[in-house]
A and B are shown apart, each in its own frame.
Chain A
């Protein structure tokens, strides 16, 4: 499933770029994120984190264990985010590019990518995948915005 959209953050692009790469922010703001530990760099040079996150979709919910990778850094314009996880109810894989575009004093964070799920979560949750993904992304940026508010 393709996803795409944008969210406005009240920070200049350079700051927004840093904030969205900050593991403590990511851990706090990713909905259902249980923990996020840096495990180093992959062979391809991606910064990798190990993560556990809870996800609920339709009548199915479960804990996903997997990795978050930050790749193709192009500070302060863009980077690629790769999230992979699997659990008892199936697996998920999301990959997308975040682009930072100055908008007045703030930044438009644009994202474009693809989410795939499999197993039970695909069989019973597909109908709600689109709205759930949008909801999770919105919640994530909402939390990031709130965290920024606290920091500033």
Chain B
């Protein structure tokens, strides 16, 4: 077997098609629900139809005696299982005990009450209906602002004010800035609850090996190693006896960056019945029981001089937490505060977060996780300020950007922006739309009575999570590179991906560094028994942290390869390039396969070198990375129907160096789709009694392919100094840049009617009502 000798042509920077796709588009990929284990049973979960109720009694006898049912478990049965963990901490944070099954009370519609285990999934689902629960409904509250009113129903009776935490952050002298400001603009801005909606719902299979006292848990998760640690703790199993495997994951968007009751419940059931058990979340359950995103009510105030120079920003942020703290629930709004200055020289900042319990499913990370809300806020405020001062929205932004010579830039919120040229993407986007001509088109359109809008947003985001001291778990990432005796390369990454294409991009990096063909590299992830401990994929960290760990593992391995090359070529003057070591004096060569073979055969070894060809690195980033960009959206509104047509969408992103432009474009497209979803259509609506009334895809408008405009993408490249690849991260950029650009555009379109702000989603119904002169 020979190693393909690759050319020295670099793969990094090339649009290589995703190596994951053949199995995905031919239906040969294995998702959790594809698993079939011998003797496997199926679990279905009974869920509360009430948002708040006491459980008076529960009768499971009919379900237990139903043919095919093996076991039914309720709250008291799982009392020995540890609570669903909250990994975030804040001073004075109230964390309710989150048992994996409700016992005496239910706190939201969908709260798990009992689990039925049967030989067949349909039998389990039927038997669920045989459980009699006598609920005593109590008053519920679903709106975070109403939950703060005196006399509101208490979500958790022990905390009648419904406040889980308050958090204050301040930088500079905000009071002075506001006192001295020539103009202050205020606005209430909401960011509605959203359902993350991965195409693959959650699900898990648990198998307990009784003799070995070990549990294998297959789960559709973004964090296999953290899940292993935390589920092991919940179930009282030692961590080395828990193996978590993430097969193909059909989308996560943050909602699978979590530890859920069902994952521990499946483990518990498998241990009790001694058989493997599968639980697959239905789409309706996904609406009710998987975390939601966003859920902000923000009160902003911006202070400025009349020339448009910004002075200060104040924020009161009411975060709808839902009924419980999931893994990162309370940490998400703190990210909004960190990023509230955006790309501007706000030296004076004041923010107050109130985390509020409601009788709803918990909120947590959803694509962007706190940063879309922050960018939406500051970018809306910049437009409101521009309108107040009668300035052009592009001009006011260019006036206030942090300058290129100010990096690293210490923000008023305590961050250090790594590198940037903030005007560059905006100027490029303005060129791409031919801004001045476009404003002229708009003027003519208005003369014709058409409602045309141009919206600009510029965003900065915090990515590459992150330095460990600043993250709830570790912020490092790990990589192992193994070269087989035949010279073939295996990469193990701890940054378990779920659609980001790391099997492609990481192979590009490894192939380049080792000078081998990409076909000789495989990238493996998502099995805690095989892959060294890792953190996971979220917060646009896969490449910036996981890729950097890989880079350093490759660096170590190249040093070892060179030592073997020197020994085999009997020279200390050699070059390793293109997959071969060449003696610079004689021109003699040894291939990577020969070197790898020698390292395992080990007839001779270089001084101080061990046999084998493998390197592992755990890399700790010194800082976050801060990508940025500018999105410009042109809309036209149908006066008769209120329909918002996005006629142009231009996204110019600076995510540092680009490993694979095709995948970066894919991330931007997907991010923009979800941003448009929030801007125009999507909203998770609870009624006053805490019923989720958008509980299916007939009522919850996820964008479809036909809803999407053509997206024109562009890039500027400002490498990050934080990691050796110079990458910044792009997984969430599209979502973060999108919503303010769309809202700014629609507000611009409607500004001749006196409209100055609209909250999302800007559905046809809402826009139509505005056109009819109704106040929204």
Contact = CB atoms under 8 A, between A and B. Distances in A.
Interface of A: 58, 86, 88, 90-91, 116-120, 122-124, 126-127
B75 interface: no
Interface of B: 49-51, 109, 129, 284, 287-288, 687, 689, 691-696, 698-699
Nearest to A129: B693
A90 B687 CA distance: 15
Contacts of B695: 120, 122-124, 126
Given A118-B51, A118-B691, 14 more contacts: A88-B129, A116-B691, A120-B284, A122-B693, A123-B287, A123-B691, A123-B693, A123-B695, A123-B696, A124-B284, A124-B698, A126-B693, A126-B694, A126-B699
Contacts of B696: 123-124
B689 A90 contact: no
A65 to B, nearest CB: 11
A86 B134 CA distance: 10
Contacts of A123: 109, 284, 287-288, 691-696
A19 to B, nearest CB: 33
B49 A127 contact: no
B701 to A, nearest CB: 12
Contacts of B51: 118
B74 to A, nearest CB: 18
A151 B287 CA distance: 50
B112 to A, nearest CB: 14
Q: Which 7 A-B pairs have the closest CB atoms?
A: A123-B695, A119-B49, A126-B693, A122-B691, A88-B129, A124-B696, A118-B49
A50 to B, nearest CB: 16
Contact of B699 (A86, A88, A127): A127
Given A91-B49, A127-B698, A127-B699, A122 B692 contact: yes
A116 B49 contact: no
A116 B689 contact: yes
B699 A124 contact: yes
A122 B687 contact: yes
Nearest to A118: B49
A9 B284 CA distance: 42
Nearest to A122: B691
B693 A118 contact: no
A1 to B, nearest CB: 8
Contacts of A90: 49
Contact of B687 (A58, A119, A126): A126
Given A90-B49, A91-B49, A126-B687, A119 B699 contact: no
A88 B47 CA distance: 11
Nearest to B697: A124
B371 to A, nearest CB: 30
A91 to B, nearest CB: 6
B733 to A, nearest CB: 33
A118 B689 contact: yes
A141 B394 CA distance: 63
Specify which of A91, A116, A122, A123 lies most central, judged by the most chain B CB atoms within 10 Å of its CB: A123
B354 to A, nearest CB: 28
Nearest to A121: B49
A46 B191 CA distance: 46
B109 A118 contact: yes
B141 to A, nearest CB: 15
A86 B50 CA distance: 11
A91 B693 CA distance: 14
B127 to A, nearest CB: 11
A64 to B, nearest CB: 12
A28 B687 CA distance: 33
A119 B287 CA distance: 12
A88 B63 CA distance: 13
27 contacts: A58-B698, A86-B49, A91-B49, A116-B689, A116-B691, A117-B691, A118-B50, A118-B109, A119-B49, A119-B109, A122-B687, A122-B692, A122-B693, A123-B284, A123-B288, A123-B691, A123-B692, A123-B693, A123-B694, A123-B696, A124-B695, A124-B698, A124-B699, A126-B691, A126-B694, A126-B699, A127-B699
A126 B129 CA distance: 22
Nearest to B47: A119
Nearest to A126: B693
A116 B695 CA distance: 16
Contacts of B288: 123
A118 B699 CA distance: 16
Contacts of A58: 698
A126 B287 CA distance: 15
A123 B687 CA distance: 10
Nearest to B51: A118
Contacts of B287: 123
A122 to B, nearest CB: 4
A123 B696 CA distance: 7
Nearest to B126: A88
A124 B285 CA distance: 12
A92 to B, nearest CB: 10
A57 to B, nearest CB: 12
Nearest to A91: B49
Nearest to B49: A119
Nearest to B110: A123
A58 B288 CA distance: 18
Nearest to A62: B129
Nearest to B130: A88
Contacts of A86: 49
A126 B694 CA distance: 8
Q: Which of A116, A124, A127: most chain B Cβ within 10 A?
A: A124
Nearest to B287: A123
Contacts of A126: 687, 691, 693-695, 699
A134 to B, nearest CB: 18
Contacts of A117: 691
Contacts of A88: 129
Contacts of A118: 49-51, 109, 689, 691
A90 B689 CA distance: 14
A147 to B, nearest CB: 34
Contacts of B129: 88
A69 to B, nearest CB: 17
A139 B673 CA distance: 44
A91 B50 CA distance: 9
A116 B139 CA distance: 13
Contacts of B693: 122-123, 126-127
Determine which residue in B51, B287, B693 has the highest number of CB atoms from chain A within 10 A of its CB, and name it: B693
A58 B284 CA distance: 14
A90 B699 CA distance: 18
A120 B566 CA distance: 70
A90 B287 CA distance: 16
A58 B695 CA distance: 12
A124 B698 CA distance: 8
B631 to A, nearest CB: 32
A117 B692 CA distance: 11
B202 to A, nearest CB: 17
Contacts of B689: 116, 118
A13 to B, nearest CB: 34
A124 B283 CA distance: 11
Given A127-B698, A127-B699, A120 B691 contact: no
Given A88-B129, A126-B691, A120 B698 contact: no
